[in-house]
């Protein structure tokens, strides 16, 4: 039995050297300050994995979850995605969403632009690692 454990430990060491571990995912819970919110979801969860991020939040039509590219520059991450055919009463629109997360200060900005309309909705707040 002891030999088996030695063999397993040796195999795990070799595997760790040959197959380095993947990038650890980093999760942030972001809350929009109610005083700055002009129509964006009140909270967002961002899970980073390398240069990708999974963005999740609630919305009028139900939950939104997107796997997006995270453009990183000096601690700032920017994520863009669209929500198509979102309904407000009888009207439908495509919404362009942009989240900018400053990982140095954990502040973030969430902007939604309805395509074809002049309105812009936004909110800023703080992200907490979790």
Per mean pLDDT, which range of 2-6, 41-45, 53-57, 104-108 is the poorest?
2-6
In a domain, 33, yes or no: yes
In a domain, 11, yes or no: no
- Which position has the token pair 């407000």? 88
Task: Give the CATH number of the domain where residue 47 resides.
Answer: 2.40.160
CB-facing half-sphere around the CA of 73: CA atoms within 13 A:
4
Q: DSSP secondary-structure letter at 35? A: T
Pairing of strands 91-102, 76-88: antiparallel
Report the C-alpha gap between 102 and 82 in whole angstroms.
Answer: 21
pLDDT digits 0-9 by tens, 51-86: 999 999 998 778 999 999 999 998 899 999 999 877
Tokens representing 79 are 């994520």
Is the CB of residue 94 less than 8 Å from the CB of residue 85? yes
In a domain, 2, yes or no: no
Is the CB of residue 47 less than 8 Å from the CB of residue 63? no
pTM of the model as a whole: 0.77
In a domain, 5, yes or no: no
**Between vectors from CA 58 to CA 57 and to CA 63, what angle results, nearest 5°?**
95
In a domain, 96, yes or no: yes
Number of structural domains, the chain?
1
pLDDT digits 0-9 by tens, 10-51: 433 333 334 444 557 899 999 999 999 998 999 999 999 999
Beta strands in the chain (DSSP E): 26-32, 43-49, 52-57, 64-69, 71-73, 76-88, 91-102, 107-114, 121-129
Report the C-alpha gap between 84 and 93 in whole angstroms.
Answer: 7
Residue range(s) defining the domain that contains residue 60: 23-129
Q: What is the CA radius of gyration of the chain?
A: 20
Q: End-to-end CA distance of the chain, in Å? A: 39
């Amino acid at each position: 039995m002891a030999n088996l454990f030695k063999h397993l430990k040796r195999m795990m060491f070799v595997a760790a050297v040959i197959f380095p571990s993947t990038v650890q995912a980093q999760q942030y819970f972001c809350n929009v300050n109610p005083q700055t919110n002009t129509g964006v979801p009140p909270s967002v969860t961002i899970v980073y994995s390398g240069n990708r991020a999974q963005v999740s939040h609630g919305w009028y039509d139900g939950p939104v979850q997107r796997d997006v590219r995270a453009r990183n520059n000096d601690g700032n991450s920017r994520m863009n995605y669209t929500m198509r055919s979102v309904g407000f009463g009888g009207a439908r629109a495509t919404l362009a969403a942009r989240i900018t997360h400053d990982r140095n200060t954990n502040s973030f900005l969430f902007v939604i632009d309805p395509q074809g309309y002049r309105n812009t909705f936004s909110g800023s707040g703080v992200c907490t690692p979790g």
